[in-house]
Amino acid sequence: MDYDAYFAGMQRWAKLGELSEYGSVQENGRAYPLLRLIVPGKRWLTVTSGFHGEEPAGPLTLLERLGEVVDYARARDVGLRVYPLINPSGFEAGTRYNASGERPNNDMLRYEVAPGVWRGELKAGEPFVGWAPFTEGPKETRALRADLNRFEPPAAALDLHQDQGMKGRYAYAYVFGDLDAYRPLMARTAERMAIAGRTVVDEAAGLSSDAEGFVVYHDGSVTDWFQRTGVPWTAVLETTCETPLETCHEVNLVWLRGFIDLAARR
Ligand SMILES: [Zn+2]
């Protein structure tokens, strides 16, 4: 799907709240306006999707089903800030990174692992001296950060991804905080598709999920940044790209509703 069609399709949700452009990026010799929907509420959930262009399910769930998500949030007085497609030029081409090859996903913060030594991620259990927002990085990341910084941290934040490399139909999640909060969501996911427990999820980083399909990894992503800024519930849901799109939609909705419930708890 080209981005103009995606952008036009999102306009039908404009009646649900404030649909506006939080920025614009130049790629392929053109401007890509960046969209976000704000629906007011007492407590807030931030939703991001489409960091990686070859992971279309999240942006498509939001394009197709955002109305249901907003209804569910309104009924619980949860406000939404939805960034449905972070990386439009990557989405259009089906490439992981943007058209100029920048990697929008992991440049929200940096860790100081020893005095004066900065890195983009932490190994499991690795101690660190401090962290700082990363102010350079890809244009999509800078545009998102500038917009997120306009608001107080939300009560909860969910980032929808997919796994291109893993074979078969599976789901798992990168999470921070109290795992009890996410167990019911994983159980509802398991009613719809298999969970990738004790599975290698990132060979380069030597990273595997635990028996329940959870991964805790400080990777400099928006989710990592949210937990550092004090957001109690923040996660990345992953479904494999081999999973039928309809199943991805259902599982994405399970987690969207679940995160609205978590935000409402606060
Ligand atoms: Zn991804």
Cα(54) to centroid of ligand 1, in Å? Answer: 8
Is 197 within the bounds of a domain? Answer: yes
Cα(75) to centroid of ligand 1, in Å? Answer: 30
Total domains, the chain: 1
Is 122 within the bounds of a domain? Answer: no
Question: What is the model's pLDDT at position 33?
Answer: 98
Question: What is the model's pLDDT at position 235?
Answer: 98
Cα(46) to centroid of ligand 1, in Å? Answer: 17
Question: What is the model's pLDDT at position 188?
Answer: 98
Cα(208) to centroid of ligand 1, in Å? Answer: 16
Is 191 within the bounds of a domain? Answer: yes
Question: What is the model's pLDDT at position 68?
Answer: 98
Cα(252) to centroid of ligand 1, in Å? Answer: 14
Question: What is the model's pLDDT at position 266?
Answer: 85
- Domain of 216 in residue numbering reads as 3-100+137-265
Is 132 within the bounds of a domain? Answer: no
Amino acid at 84: P
Is 119 within the bounds of a domain? Answer: no
Alpha-carbon distance 238 to 191, whole Å? 16
CB 221 within 8 A of CB 236: yes
pLDDT less than 70: residues of the chain: none
Is 44 within the bounds of a domain? Answer: yes
Report field, pTM of the whole predicted structure over 0.75: yes
Cα(161) to centroid of ligand 1, in Å? Answer: 4
Cα(84) to centroid of ligand 1, in Å? Answer: 14
Question: What is the model's pLDDT at position 124?
Answer: 84
| Structure token digits, residue 129 | 């001296």
Cα(190) to centroid of ligand 1, in Å? Answer: 21
Q: What's the CATH number where 22 sits?
A: 3.40.630.10
3-state secondary structure of 163: strand
Question: What is the model's pLDDT at position 205?
Answer: 87
SS (HEC) of 177-242: CCHHHCHHHHHHHHCCCEECCCCEEECCCCEECCCCCEECCCCCCHHHHHHHCCCCEEEEEEEECC
Amino acid at 3: Y
Is 169 within the bounds of a domain? Answer: yes
Is 112 within the bounds of a domain? Answer: no
